[in-house]
Amino acid sequence: MGMTMTQKILAAHAGLDSVRAGQLIEANLDIVMGNDITTAVAVKEFAKTGAKSVFDKEKVVIVLDHFTPNKDIKAAEQCKCSRQFANEMEVKNFFDVGQMGIEHALLPEKGIVSCGQVIIGADSHTCTYGALGAFSTGVGSTDMAIGMATGKAWFKVPAAIKFVLTGKPAKWISGKDIILHIIGKIGVDGALYKSMEFVGDGISYLSMDDRFTMANMAIEAGAKNGIFPADEKAVAYAKEHGAKEPVVYTADDDAVYDEVITIDLSTLRPTISYPHLPENTKTVDEAVKDHVKIDQVVIGSCTNGRLDDMKIAADILRGKQVCKDVRTIVIPATQQIYLDCIKLGYAEDIVKAGAVLSTPTCGPCLGGHMGILASKERCVSTTNRNFVGRMGATDSEVYLASPAVAAASALTGYITDPENI
């Protein structure tokens, strides 16, 4: 019986010739990652193991990004705990204020993650790195602690759904629209503990930033991971950003899938997720008819804070003014992206349009800081979750969208089709 991409990676890291869906295995880890929230918890569990050092000083990664720069005393204490642990353990890949970025944009940019690896992170959106043809998944802080101590983790090998992407997407269709369309189609539990495997000729039209966005939101369909083939574009990205030699795994022709879903990208329209679940999707055409008045726009996060996203926002905002009733917050995901925005003129376009450009931070995505919503306020956001109270008051509303829809909506004060700007 053949194996999927994910199954081949897990088999190799478990030292096995083959694995099957449902099998329990122990795999060697290439990267163990935590942030300022989860590391503080993991440190306490790490102490219980009796380990005196982490298994590999270069393979443990700690990024301070959720509540940083510190929003309050509790956040400062969490960061202090993480900082002290990183210093004590001589963690090489520790990113503090000034060096940090949003973790799931920073690790690929720094070349810390690469094709064919097994990566765990104490953050649910660790599945992002599947864009590089890696197996990456989110875990709890206890698993992070054990991973830091031993360099190993156990997994139940996931079954898989194959998504065959065909056709060329239209101008304003991005990875965000594609993944929102998919989640709307299969539901937030449609891929529960499964691998979402993206294949097909349509992938060639997707940038790496598109792929990172799609893999990032696999968890919003309940998936264990999302993964793309490590094609020429992915391998080139890995080599450009890191010194590690990419390892490419391809699915067997007779690999077993629970389901095969074909999506013609050329037929897709910009897609929005209405409150309060990512599966609650409508096309922009439907949303425009609803005449949804908004109070805030957020463009950023681990889902859509990359350079492509900044360019789209700048292209739409350039020479225009955001609606006076809409607070527009743009957050580059890393320091390098922030610098690139300045060098390329995107920062000036964004600020002159009346938006604010922030230092890299997760900030408003999880209702942390830099954009909390008041009672009954509405936000169009390029983030990944729109649960009740996700971004502030429990009666506020979050509408998930692409950077193009978010930027267009910032100009009008209503959910807007970017084609009409």
| CA-angle at 336, arms to 333 and 340, nearest 5° | 100
Burial class (CB in 10 A: 0-12, 13-18, 19+), 152: middle
Task: Cite the beta strand spans of 255-363 per DSSP E.
Answer: 259-264, 271-273, 281-283, 296-299, 327-330, 356-357
In this structure, which CATH number among 3.90.850.10, 3.30.499.10, 3.30.1370.10, 1.10.760.10 belongs to the domain 5-263?
A: 3.30.499.10
| CA-angle at 298, arms to 295 and 303, nearest 5° | 145
Average predicted confidence (pLDDT) for the chain: 96
Q: Tell me, what's the pLDDT at 172?
A: 95
Q: Tell me, what's the pLDDT at 267?
A: 97
Q: Tell me, what's the pLDDT at 401?
A: 98
Which residues, including other chains, have CB under 8 Å from residue 126's CB and lie 6 or more apart?
Answer: 33, 104, 119, 120, 136, 137, 138, 139
Q: How many Cα atoms sit within 13 Å of 325 on the Cβ side?
A: 10
Closest-CA residue to 408 (of 302, 305, 292, 301)? 292
Which mean pLDDT values do the consecutive 10-residue runs of the chain (421 residues) have? 95 97 97 96 94 96 94 94 96 94 96 97 97 97 96 97 97 97 97 97 97 98 97 96 93 96 97 97 96 97 97 97 97 97 97 96 92 97 95 96 98 96 86
Q: What is the distance between the alpha carbons of residues 335 and 65, in angstroms, rounded to a whole number?
A: 12
Q: Tell me, what's the pLDDT at 378?
A: 97
| CA-angle at 89, arms to 84 and 90, nearest 5° | 95
pLDDT in tens, 384-404: 999 999 999 999 999 999 999
Q: How far apart are the first and last CA of the chain?
A: 52
Angle of helix 208-216 relative to helix 307-317, nearest 10 degrees? 110
Q: Tell me, what's the pLDDT at 421?
A: 86
CATH of domain 273-420: 3.30.499.10
Q: Tell me, what's the pLDDT at 1?
A: 77
Spell out the domain ranges in the chain. Answer: 5-263, 273-420
